[in-house]
């Protein structure tokens, strides 16, 4: 896993695996946190637009953030 932080925007990106992003899905109800997914539904990374958003997503999940390896592929 590789973690990067954009100082200007405050965004954080957690790269979990290589691949071509097909789409992003919301990963939190009250925060700007998204998972990037390839065409087969494999989770490639997690993006939080701020540390506060990441903390909110963790709080929404009872203090623990489990990122799935796969999410259902979109219907095309």
Residue 55, domain member (yes or no): yes
Give residue 15's domain range.
2-60
How many Å apart are CA 12 and CA 33, to the nearest integer? 9
pTM of the model: 0.87
pLDDT in tens, the chain (76 residues): 999 999 999 999 999 999 999 999 999 999 999 999 999 999 999 999 999 999 999 999 999 989 999 987 554 4
What element of type H or E holds 46?
strand 43-48
CB atoms inside a 10 Å sphere around CB 37: 23
Report if residue 70 sits inside a domain. no
Q: Within a domain: residue 11? A: yes
In a domain, 68, yes or no: no
- Could you give the C-alpha distances from 76 to 20, 22, 35, 39, 66, in angstroms and in order? 17, 12, 19, 10, 27
| Overall domain count for the chain | 1
């Amino acid at each position: 896993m590789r973690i990067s932080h954009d100082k200007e925007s405050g965004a954080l990106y957690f790269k979990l695996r290589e691949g071509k992003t097909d789409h992003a899905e919301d990963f939190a109800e009250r925060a700007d946190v998204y998972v990037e997914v390839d065409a087969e539904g494999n989770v490639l990374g997690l993006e939080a637009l701020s540390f506060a958003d990441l903390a909110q997503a963790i709080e929404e999940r009872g203090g623990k953030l489990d990122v799935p390896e796969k999410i259902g592929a979109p219907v095309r």
